[in-house]
A = this chain, B = another copy of it.
Amino acid sequence: MSPPLRLGIAGLGTVGTGVVRIVRQKAELLARRAGRPITISAVSARTRDRDRGVSLSGYAWEDDPVALARRDDVDVFVELMGGSDGPAKAATEAAIAAGKDVVTANKAMLAHHGQALALAAEEAGCVIRFEAAVAGGIPVVKALTEGLAANEITRVMGVMNGTCNYILTRMETTGQGYNALFEEADKLGFLEADPNLDVGGIDAGHKLALLASIAFGCRVDFDGVTLEGIQDITLDDIRHAADMGYRIKLLGVAQMTGRGLEQRMSPCLVPAQSPLGQLEGGTNMVVLEGDQVEQIVLRGPGAGMGPTASAVMGDVLDIARGARISTFGQPAGRLGNCTRAGTATPAPYYLRMALRDKPGALARVATCLGEAGVSIDRMRQYHHDDSTAPVLIVTHKTNRDALDTALTGISRLDVLAADPVALRIEAV
């Protein structure tokens, strides 16, 4: 049997602890599958003396992850600290400079510095693998980079933030509003330290940008992702959507269009009967579409100790078995700078407005939409018991720019009691 593959693990939170646990408890299974033992040489974390429920005996301790990354007895640097910059980036760079392979779960770091890190790794003859950074336990980076490698990918789509999906599905089932369920998610420990990473769609946007880079052969362009969070979704929107056979999901879509690469992460209406529409709670789903394979749907847990550690260890085993894939599926130097599509592909939209109870208000809204070239598929005005009337409009397929023009015009009419809500209806 080949010599052991020796890991240095930086970060001993949930995922790091899960990785240590697997290495300790499954030594025989891993060695059989990898063709060589997988061992841990050293670990590093912010706090040394904390009961993590797993023994660290036999591992060297490093206070400094950079020192860990450079150790001679480390073959693979496993970066599980998180954060786009700071120690995670410094240690990853040090590992690469020292010729170590890197396995990371850090979507933020790769979304911001993926191209530079990939170039550095390739120059140093190292690999960076990041299955755990996208959709937890689902082997979607592998499916896209390897399994579907003979496809011209046409679209990548998915629900990739379990916390948002948890909040949205709990709004449906409990009838509680966004704020109450945000607090519930917080109490359950589902939220990042900066909750805007979750509910603002940033975390999911990072993931989408990584998948888009692999899918379309572009440098990661997180700044090119149009981001919209779920903070403004109301129970009314969820109920209206359900009445029309839809559910609201924080949906990421990346597709190559004639205008360039389109990357969006935003709350969308999807058919309730579609696989995406049926997704409950913290589960993730990624849909991969290619010219040969048509559509592949992958579903699984998007977070948690076991699933995320499973993804980290999948990457470790790949390296142990000798697989050496470029970070984004092809040499980083050959990745293009994709043009941004600028505006989203036309789609129908769901609009909700609170109309002031004035004669002719609805007619003026409709006129404004028509003048911007937005045609109405369905419109419904609800019974109102105060001075505002809820109005629901589903448009025909329209350009987002035209819609924004119309909404600006409508806002100027002085007939709205609140900002209008516009949600895309995605064909999935």
Q: Which of A323-331, A345-353, A390-398 contacts B (4 or more CB under 8 A)?
A: A323-331
List, in ascending order, chain B residues with CB within 8 A of A326's CB: 35
Q: Is A294 an interface residue (CB 8 A)?
A: yes
**Residues of chain B within 8 A of A311, CB atoms compared:** 147, 293
Q: How far is the CA of A366 from the CA of B244 in the complex (A)?
A: 47
A29 vs B317: C-alpha distance in the bound complex, in angstroms? 27
Q: Which of A292, A298, A321 has the most CB of B within 10 A?
A: A292
- A374 to B23: give the CA distance in the assembly, Å: 44
Given contacts A293-B300, A294-B307, A298-B298, contact A314 B148 (CB under 8 A): yes
Contact of A420 with B by CB under 8 A: no
B296 touches A296 (CB 8 A): no
Please name all residues of chain B whose beta carbon is closer than 8 Å to the beta carbon of A325 when the two chains form the complex. Answer: 321, 323
List residues of chain B with CB within 8 A of the CB of A299.
275, 296-299
Q: Is A278 among interface residues, defined by CB-CB distance under 8 A? A: yes
Assembled-state Cα–Cα distance A35/B327 (Å): 13
Is A143 on the interface with B (CB-CB < 8 A)?
yes
Known contacts A297-B300, A323-B323, A330-B32; A139/B146 CB under 8 A = yes
Asked if A242 is at the interface (CB within 8 A of a chain B CB), the reply is: no
Identify which of B35, B292, B293, B310 contacts A293 (C-beta below 8 A). Answer: B310
Residue of B nearest to A1 (CB): B331
A380 nearest CB across to chain B (Å): 29
**Is A152's beta carbon under 8 Å from chain B?**
yes
Q: How many copies does the complex hold?
A: 2
Residue of B nearest to A323 (CB): B323
Interface string of A399-410 (1 = CB under 8 A from B): 000000000000
- Report the separation of the CA atoms of residues A382 and B276 in the bound assembly, to the nearest whole angstrom: 39
Contact A300 B310 (CB under 8 A): no
In the assembly, what is the distance between CA of A310 and CA of B34, in Å?
A: 26
Tell me how far the C-beta of A179 lies from the nearest C-beta in chain B, rounded to whole angstroms. 30
Taken residue by residue from 313 to 346, chain A's Cβ proximity to chain B (1 for < 8 Å, 0 otherwise) reads as: 1101110011111100111001000000000000
Interface residues of A in 282-315 (CB under 8 A from B): 290-301, 304, 306-307, 309-311, 313-314
Q: Which residues of B contact A294 (CB under 8 A)?
A: 137, 300-301, 304, 306-307
Give chain B nearest CB distance to A278 CB in angstroms: 7
Chain B residues with CB under 8 Å of A329's CB are 33
A296 to chain B, nearest CB (A): 4
Any chain B CB within 8 A of the CB of A67? Answer: no
Interface flag for A149 (CB, 8 Å) = yes
| A131 on the B face (CB < 8 A) | yes
Chain B residues with CB below 8 A from A322, complex form: 322-324
Q: Contact: A321 with B324, CB < 8 Å?
A: yes
Once A275-B299, A292-B306 are accepted as A-B contacts, the answer to whether A139 and B150 lie under 8 Å apart by CB is no
Measured CB to CB, the closest approach of chain B to A315, in angstroms, equals 9
**Is B290 touching A310 in the complex (CB atoms < 8 A)?**
yes
CA distance A329 to B35 in the complex (A): 10
Q: In this assembly, does A84 line the interface, its C-beta being within 8 Å of a C-beta of chain B?
A: no
Cβ-based interface call for A22 (8 A): yes
In the complex, the chain B residue whose C-beta lies closest to that of A291 is: B306
Q: Does A52 contact B (CB under 8 A)?
A: no
Q: Which 5 pairs, one residue from A and one from B, show the smallest C-beta to C-beta distance?
A: A139-B147, A150-B313, A292-B310, A137-B293, A292-B306
Q: What are 25 A-B pairs with beta-carbon distances under 8 A? A: A22-B150, A29-B152, A32-B217, A32-B330, A35-B331, A139-B296, A142-B143, A146-B323, A147-B311, A147-B314, A148-B310, A148-B314, A150-B316, A150-B317, A291-B306, A292-B306, A292-B313, A293-B300, A293-B310, A294-B306, A321-B323, A321-B325, A322-B322, A323-B323, A323-B325
| Seed contacts A29-B152, A142-B142, A275-B299; 4 additional CB < 8 Å A-B pairs | A30-B149, A30-B150, A137-B296, A290-B310
